[in-house]
Amino acid sequence: MRRHRTTARAAFVALLLAGLAAAALTTPASGREQGVPRLVFPLVAKTNLWDNYGDPRGNGRHAGIDMENPWRAPVVAVEDGRVEHAESSLGGCMLYLYGRSGTMYLYIHLNNDLTSRNDNNGGCVNDVTFAVLDGARVSAGEQVAWNGDSGDANGNPHLHFEVHPNGGTDVSPFKYLKRASRPLFAAKSGSPFSLGLRGSLVAAGAGSITLEVERVRQYPGGRWLEIEPRTLELTVPPEAAVAPSIGQITGPALRVFRTPVPVAAYTVKAKTTADAILGSAGTLQLSRVAPLP
């Protein structure tokens, strides 16, 4: 685990002095951002996202984007790569992701609480801060940590996220976050999962249902999380259990509900894939659905 005495930007001072000044003379500014792929959004939770990159701060220019998110929301890898744990007095518990593209990403202010209170007693360790081991190889959408308020964010849970193309100086993450693919849940590729979904049934028929989803719970071990509202299409196998009060949803023709029906739906247990993490159409199968009270 790396330990830093100030902010995460201090980690790059030696690198900057050694070579970045020379590289800047020969590489156009736009070229330094080449190679950053389309990302998976770094959190599974409803997020207050705005552009605060470059804002003046007490210790200098803001090198990333701060996003307000629920405490202990799952933090995920934005692309395939390798992680490295770190900590500092101001950044608190941190994680570096060295992406397969060559881009480095920095996650700051991760969780350090042992209980549901802001106790700051957990330190920067596995199962409190980190969901994977130091040095682990991870896939996009895999959970790597939990969101928190460590360091100088104490009492204000949020994620500070940085993007460093080619491992160099920071660039604004905002445009990458705006077009990032939103994960429905976080899991390791190939691991078993099933989901609980709460929202509204808006259409059904022709072997599928369409839901407007607002809350998600991952099994095993997850909790209900509010997410950005999104439309999901699930396939309906013959054995799916449908509450009688909902009516027929397996007919040959698509039926659009004039008044969406508030429901709780659950998916068939399956193995995690990239498409499943993103909730791509047809990748999730319905196990049962019932109206919400």
pLDDT tens figures, 47-59 = 988 887 776 676 6
Give the predicted TM-score (pTM) of the model.
0.85
Of 65, 69, 66, 64, give the one whose Cα is nearest residue 47: 69
Q: Identify any residues that bridge with 138 across adjacent strands, giving them in sequence order.
A: 81
For residues 93 and 150, is the Cβ–Cβ distance under 8 A?
yes
Residue 90 pLDDT? 86
What is the H or E stretch that residue 143 is in? strand 143-146
Q: Is 55 exposed, middle or buried (0-12, 13-18, 19+ CB in 10 A)?
A: exposed
Phi, psi of 89 (to 5 degrees): -70, -35
Going residue by residue through the chain (293 aa), what tens digit of pLDDT does each one get? Answer: 765 543 444 433 333 333 333 333 333 344 445 689 999 999 999 998 888 777 667 666 667 889 888 889 999 999 999 999 999 988 999 999 999 999 999 999 999 999 989 999 999 999 999 999 999 999 999 999 999 999 988 988 999 999 999 999 989 999 999 999 999 999 999 999 999 999 999 998 888 999 999 999 999 888 999 999 999 999 999 899 988 877 666 666 677 888 899 999 999 999 999 999 999 998 999 999 999 98
Residue 9 pLDDT? 42
Residue 221 pLDDT? 85
Instruction: Indicate the fold that domain 2-178 takes in CATH.
Output: Glucose Permease (Domain IIA) (2.70.70)
Angle formed at CA 71 by CA 70 and CA 76, multiple of 5 degrees: 80
Angle formed at CA 89 by CA 88 and CA 93, multiple of 5 degrees: 50
Q: Identify any residues that bridge with 255 across adjacent strands, giving them in sequence order.
A: 204
List, for residues 242-284, the tens digit of each pLDDT value.
888 776 666 666 778 888 999 999 999 999 999 999 999 989 9
For residues 232 and 204, is the Cβ–Cβ distance under 8 A?
no
Average pLDDT, the chain: 86
